[in-house]
Amino acid sequence: MDTKPAVYSDTINEEEEKKIILREYRALLRALRERIKKGDKTKLRNAFEMAVEAHKDMRRKSGAPYILHPLAVARIVVEEIGLGITSSICSLLHDTVEDTEITLDDIKHEFGENIAKIIDGLTKISNVVDIKGDTTKQAENFRKILLTLAEDPRVILIKLADRLHNMRTLESLNREKQLRIASETSYIYAPLAHRLGLYEIKSEMEDLAMKYTQPETYTEIARWLKETKRDRTRYINEFIKPIKDELTNAGFEFQIYGRPKSIHSIWTKMRKKHVAFEEVYDLFAIRVIIKSLPEKEKEDCWKVYSLVTKFYHPGAERLRDWISVPKGNGYEALHTTVMGPGGKWVEVQIRTERMNEIAEKGLAAHWKYKDGAPSAQENKLDSFLVHLREVLKNPETDTIDFIQDFKLDLFTEEIYIYTPKGDMRVLPKNATALDFAFDIHTVLGMRCIGAKVNYKLVPLSHVLKSGDQVEVITSSKQRPSEDWLNFVITAKAKSGIKNYFKDEKRKVAEDGKQLLKNKLDAMGVAMSPHNVNELMAFFRMHTPFDLFYGIAVGSLDLKDIREFAIQGDKLTSPFREPKPEVKHYVDDENKQKAPPKGQEVVIFGDHADKVLYKLAQCCQPIPGDDVFGFKTSDGVKIHRTDCPNAAKLLANYGHRIIRTKWAKNKEISFLSGIRLTGLDDVGVIQKITNVISGDLKMNMRSLSLDSKDGIFEGNITVFVHDREELNALCNKLGALEGIHTVERLDSPYE
């Protein structure tokens, strides 16, 4: 069933709106048909009517009645995630407590404690990272999301459905909101969907986020996919024909089809491997889904593998067996890449119907909500949730770093490590022996002094490989070192080490607090919030903790308090550090004002209201790039929307983002970089310099080429006026004989 939003027209009258709303409700009922028990239909109708009444005067930015949003969320929850009646009711009501007069008590009275609890969880995380100001508050809210996931996965599954529908209808919002919401989605929600096995939702979220953060690249790849669809379909049919015949002869009931890769995954491959679209060999995957009895699933999948490789030679290192050892989110399948007709590599995925259901709808959708005991894979999710609670149980985990650390656990490729007794642990790729120790238990990590990997003694920093057997060596005298943070990569290990040092510093700070109190008592001055604030301002400390810790370790001298005047029991600082002034450009000797909230920064224009800005070194934008401004203490930094740091900035610091646009100015040049690869032929440098300096009359700053075995790689930095000129240069260089790839560097300083 289709849950993609239709284009809504503001010419639709009230009667037509009612018909649309009723049609969506009936579609939800049809989706739930096989899961509705006696009395469920009445509950669902009550929830629908309550939501319609609560939202009756509300509209979305598109002009559509607001009730269409909770209805769409409910359909996603049922049709695309696989949840049932309880989650449907919660989806219909998910915005009522926050946005309308309905209270949690009303919902508890009408639908019971269980539904009220889920609605309460959804309400608490409704504005997860849209907090104006304190970034630690944003991270704390993300922590609340994860705690909610640990308690009841349905809360976050409904939240993911809510975010997916918002992404599908993002075109109605202004540019700043589009960028912020798209960045939040790729930064936080897509990794969560990935960890819960919701691959379809994860892929769509990434594609939609890219549509708004990198619109030109998204449109270009979409166009390429459309233009190559006919050839791709012809090739897929040719590839699957002999396999189809063989599977039929072997008596399998099956489906086999080719499926295009997502735009985002294609773009990731292009960047990672430095290849053009035409050279991405796995634009699609062949999927074979077989009907199989539970006890014969593994055997049948390997039989299909043998039939596929009967016709097509497999790549030696391209077999992935996620049936024997499923992924941490429960994903099971055999993946292999084989050499197809015409010398093209083709990825083949082999699954049973059960495996396919989990792959498409996510394991969490089935966890503890089906009859019978949980399966081994559902127990695996249970282990993940236990791990999640351990990471989050310390209330000090409240920084932006925590989000980044935990995202690593969510999204990184997994490795499988064994204990001396043969128990398997799942860790992210590049995890160390110390990460393994913390994964087993925090106390074990704290006391770890080394490890034996495959019976060989290794240091704490030893990077583990899949299949390693690890024995942890401990000592009761061992204490964590801050150096450990340089090589551990898991959120649990980082959190444990950081919390240890916070506890140690807190003890030291308590000593400093007592020293300060003794000093103030001797001066006849109270240890009051006013006096502590005066001392913080004087010593330029941000928090009381910093003040007390500085006093304890001797970096702040209590003798300096003599400079204060005493009035009653209050201190008066001899000076206050003036607030930093916003620096502005001086244009024609007239100072310009900083732009009011909501106004654009015009880069290199003649308009007033220009604040001091710099072009970010991490992405080095040039005119024509899609950009945004980011407020810093030194003014505004201009970043490209596809900057490597953009998602983090837009997701975590939305309140510091400023609309930015380029003014046309052909007098100013910008440094930009290009990476080239090709055949190391005689005269290649001359051909390149002829294009840059001769044909295009560009000023080249540097050129460096390295050659090995007849292939060269090189970087060129040039001054260009805008992106149009840079694209012209790339096209000209790409057309030269022997040049293999030409791509823009994120920064010319790479």
**Catalytic center residues:** 98-99
* Three-class SS state of 37: coil
Task: With beta carbons less than 8 A apart as the criterion, state whether 573 and 538 touch.
Answer: yes
188 DSSP assignment: I
d(CA 439, CA 383): 11
Task: With beta carbons less than 8 A apart as the criterion, state whether 638 and 603 touch.
Answer: yes
Cα-based angle 155, 156, 160 (whole degrees, multiple of 5): 125
Burial class (CB in 10 A: 0-12, 13-18, 19+), 303: middle
Q: Mark residue 303 as left, alpha or beta (left: phi above 0; alpha: psi -120 to 50; beta: remaining).
A: alpha
Position 712, amino acid: F
d(CA 270, CA 279): 8
Gap between the terminal Cα atoms of the chain: 47
Q: Which of 416, 301, 426 is nearest to 354 (CA)?
A: 301
Helices (H), 125-275: 135-151, 153-168, 175-184, 190-195, 199-213, 215-227, 229-249, 263-273
Q: Which residue has the tokens 């990471």?
A: 391
**Displacement of CA 242 from its chain's centroid (Å):** 40
Task: With beta carbons less than 8 A apart as the criterion, state whether 713 and 677 touch.
Answer: yes
**Displacement of CA 614 from its chain's centroid (Å):** 27
What residues are paired with 338 via a beta bridge? Answer: 314, 346
d(CA 467, CA 460): 18
d(CA 542, CA 675): 44
Q: Can you give the length of the chain in residues?
A: 750
**DSSP readout, 512-576?**
HHHHHHHHHHHHT----HHHHHHHHHHHT-SSHHHHHHHHHHTSS-GGGGGGSEEETTEEE-S--
Tokens of 662: 């380029």
Task: With beta carbons less than 8 A apart as the criterion, state whether 534 and 571 touch.
Answer: yes
d(CA 578, CA 625): 37
What residues are paired with 628 via a beta bridge? Answer: 639
Cα-based angle 439, 441, 447 (whole degrees, multiple of 5): 110
Longest dimension (CA), the chain: 98
Tokens of 338: 């084989």
Q: Which of 472, 496, 497, 473 is nearest to 484 (CA)?
A: 497
